[in-house]
Amino acid sequence: MNKLLASLAAAGGAILLTAGSAWSQARDIVIGVQCDRTGATQTVGVFFCPGVHDYTDLVNSKGGIEGRRVRAMEIDHEYKVPAGVESYERHKKEGAVSVLLYGTPHVQALTAKMAEDKIPGTSPGFGSAASADGMRYPYLFPIAASYWSQAAASVHFAKDRLGGSLRGKKIAYLFFDNPAGKEPLPVLEDLAKLEGFELRTFAVPAPGVEMGPQVLDITQRYRADFVVTHLFGRSPSVSIKELKRVGFPLSKVVAFVWGSSEADLDAAGGAAVAEGYNTLQFAGVGTDYAVHREIREMYQKANKQPPREMNSTVYYNRGIFHMAVHLEALRNALKAKGAQATITGADMKTGFESIKGVTLGGLMPPLQITPTDHEGGGWIQVFTVKGGKLTKTTDWFRAYPDVIKKHVEADGKKS
Amino acid sequence: MFHRESGYYKTTYAEDGALYPLPIAKWTVGILLALFVVLPPLTTAVTGALAAEYYISIVNLILIAVVGAIGLNILVGYTGQISIGHAGFMSVGAYTAANLAVKLDLPFWITLPAGGLMAAAIGAVVGIPSLRIKGLYLAIATLAAQLIIEWIINHTPAISGGSQASIEVDRPAVFGYPLKTQRELYYFLLLFAVLAIVGALNIVRSRIGRAFVAIRDQDIAAEIIGINIFRYKLTAFAISSFYAGVTGVLYTYYLGIANYENFLISTSIDYLAMIIIGGLGSVLGAIFGAIFVTLLPILIRLFMETFGTLFFTTAELNNIIPAMRLGIFGLLIIVFLVLEPEGLNRLWRNIRSYFRVWPFSY
């Protein structure tokens, strides 16, 4: 019983201490960070989240945003929805002005709540494509190219690679058989009509580590001219290996954003195996950006080694990008209200909606977020595996914005 | 519950089956219920509105989990039929209610039972293999059900509402007033959690519940003493699935969306973990399990956030806390099950029986 009392007292002390530390940091601006370092998508989270924190630390070390320090409060939700809801409420309790969401089911589960609480959340690379509509989802910001924009970008890229016309060409769409995998289908079908190519879809059932039959079907029976893949987890690496095995040129393959990291290449047997593989990216890849140099310098000043997570640049840079958009929104909000003002979620929303022309040395696309377009344009860069690493093939571009817009509007009318 | 009982022996069957074994039990339940009713204003008064929202949100998640865990315990704990398809039945309830709410514009007091009944119907069908197979074989059959339900929802736009397989639902409205904040939703969820608990307590003390237990302990003997195995096994599946369906509907209204990815197989496993930790074959055990599984990761995080800063930097903590959460969670489950294989409920009963004669132990 004594032990029980002691642990109870310890827990009570813990709560008091938390309250105390929260008080001392009252002037800091809190931004909530959802993360998954231990759940279903941990291979992403372990690189993504350090990027978020390193960039926050860098900004703070340079004096913060308009003189205000930012506290990135991370909560790991293990990719579970109840834990995600709890983490959002915790962020709200700590006074977070905006939240970096993580995971499609969490975005969906929190969309209604965020609008009621007037706290903006961002969902780059997940959530639904229809949430680009800022009038319908006022507090949800996809900020990066949705799966619809990625579908359009991949068709645009294929067109470019196949000599400027897709008429009579055959495109295969190899996708993970879940809602996210199926989301781009209507856009692809539309573009097939528009550009006059033949589209056939090949579903890969979960867990997606077996796709020999689909790949054979694509290369031997259908004889595709170009392959667009939209896969998650371990399956992108399997697709690379299988396509390589049957001798399909990887230069005629383009992968959506979750099949395009260094980790996928490594899992396929190293970048040498994947030579020629094309990837869509919504943030810059590689370490040739000023922000990387500054982060290294920050670590060197503190006599520490730069974290090895920096070497997985696709996810690490997406982490930087994700936080950078929030900090830009915060900068806009502080500029509008005065540097010492108390910032609310609604101020942040306005801040997000006036983001324009911030590029972070090319790491960020030329986003222009408006009250109606929360996707910021749907910008994509293509990186190709060349000589053992991902190298830039195209500059930032957006494809078929009219088609995407039509679909967003149609989805808004549906409900 | 929390009262002490001593020198009380049951002498009739009616007494053995009573919902309140002692008059004082009514008082305990009444006080407990009153406490739960005043919980939100009380929390608000103590911690302020913003923090109260957070604490009540945790209670809300627990309330939803309680309904689902009780349902699974009726099937697994009381009837002895293992099921890994619980989340599948939740999604049946969730999508039934969401479709009715959006397409026909029905209020929650129609969609909620409808979702439950639809899940019960599907559950009864899925339960048919249980008439021929048991144990691990039945587990695989229910696993198949989970996967089939997932596949059907994913591939039928008429059910899933389009390629994203999610249907947005308006907040539940009471007399035209939509319940939005955590504290408002709390009462909505509390009502159904209480109904679920009362319902389950009454089922298990009645003829049906006793039939379930007889089937669990020895199905051949149960059949010999006149229990219709066919009927009661399917009834167990139907009741359990009804609870699961209601859980799915509660999730849908609580989150404002019915989403395919909330109800994947990992959710089924989580609920199995709840009832195993809490104690198989007891309503209170399911409640304990739901509380434990929901609360423990949160408490570990709170503890580490406070004391971890003494030993680690924030960057290290961000890495350590999630790993600790999984590690400590797993370790505690093992420790609890080694200390008391019958779960938290048995632990609670041990404590109670210790205090029953306290301080006159001898």
For residue A56, give the chain B residue with the closest CA. Answer: B315
Q: Which of B54, B305, B315 sits opposite A89 (nearest CB)?
A: B54
Q: Do A185 and B163 touch (CB under 8 A)?
A: yes
Residues of B in contact with A37 (CB under 8 A): 318-319, 322-323
- Chain A interface includes B247 (CB < 8 A): no
The answer to whether residue B313 sits within a structural domain is: no
Q: Which of B182, B302, B319 sits opposite A89 (nearest CB)?
A: B182
What ipTM does this complex have? 0.90
- Helix (H, G, I), strand (E, B), or coil: what is residue A202? strand
Q: Do A113 and B256 touch (CB under 8 A)?
A: yes
Residue B351 backbone dihedrals phi, psi, to 5 degrees: -60, -45
Tokens at residue A102, please?
A: 């993580």
For residue A57, give the chain B residue with the closest CA. Answer: B315
User: A323, A55 in Cβ contact below 8 A?
Assistant: yes
Q: CA of B191 to nearest chain A CA: how many angstroms apart? A: 20
Mean confidence (pLDDT) of chain B: 90
pLDDT tens digits, one per residue of B32-82:
999 999 999 999 999 888 899 999 999 999 999 999 999 999 999 999 999
CATH of residue B276: 1.10.3470
Q: CA of B183 to nearest chain A CA: how many angstroms apart? A: 12
pLDDT tens digits, one per residue of A294-327:
999 999 999 988 888 898 999 999 999 999 999 9
Decide if pLDDT at B1 tops 60: no
Return the residue matching tokens 């293509």: A382
pLDDT tens digits, one per residue of B257-289:
998 888 999 899 999 999 999 999 999 999 999
The answer to whether residue B292 sits within a structural domain is: no
The answer to whether residue B21 sits within a structural domain is: no
For residue A180, give the chain B residue with the closest CA. Answer: B164
CA dihedral in degrees (A315, A319, A320, A321; nearest 10)? Answer: 90
Q: Do A37 and B58 touch (CB under 8 A)?
A: no
Structural domain count of chain B: 1
* Domains of chain A, start order: 23-145+286-362 (3.40.50.2300), 147-281+381-414 (3.40.50.2300)
The answer to whether residue B334 sits within a structural domain is: no
Give the pLDDT of residue A22.
46
Q: What does the alpha-carbon distance between residue A137 and residue A127 come to, in Å, rounded to a whole number?
A: 12
Summarize the confidence of residues A267-293 as an average pLDDT: 92
Q: For the beta carbon of residue A53, count every other beta carbon within 10 angstroms.
A: 21
Q: Do B315 and A186 touch (CB under 8 A)?
A: no
- Chain A interface includes B262 (CB < 8 A): yes
Task: Choose from A4, A99, A108 for mutation: most chain B CBs within 10 A.
Answer: A108
- Domain boundaries, position B272: 38-282
- Chain A interface includes B312 (CB < 8 A): no
Strands of chain B, DSSP E: 166-168, 173-174, 177-178, 257-259
Q: Do A49 and B323 touch (CB under 8 A)?
A: no
**Chain B 85-114, CB below 8 Å of chain A: which residues?**
102
Q: What does the alpha-carbon distance between residue A258 and residue A234 come to, in Å, rounded to a whole number?
A: 10
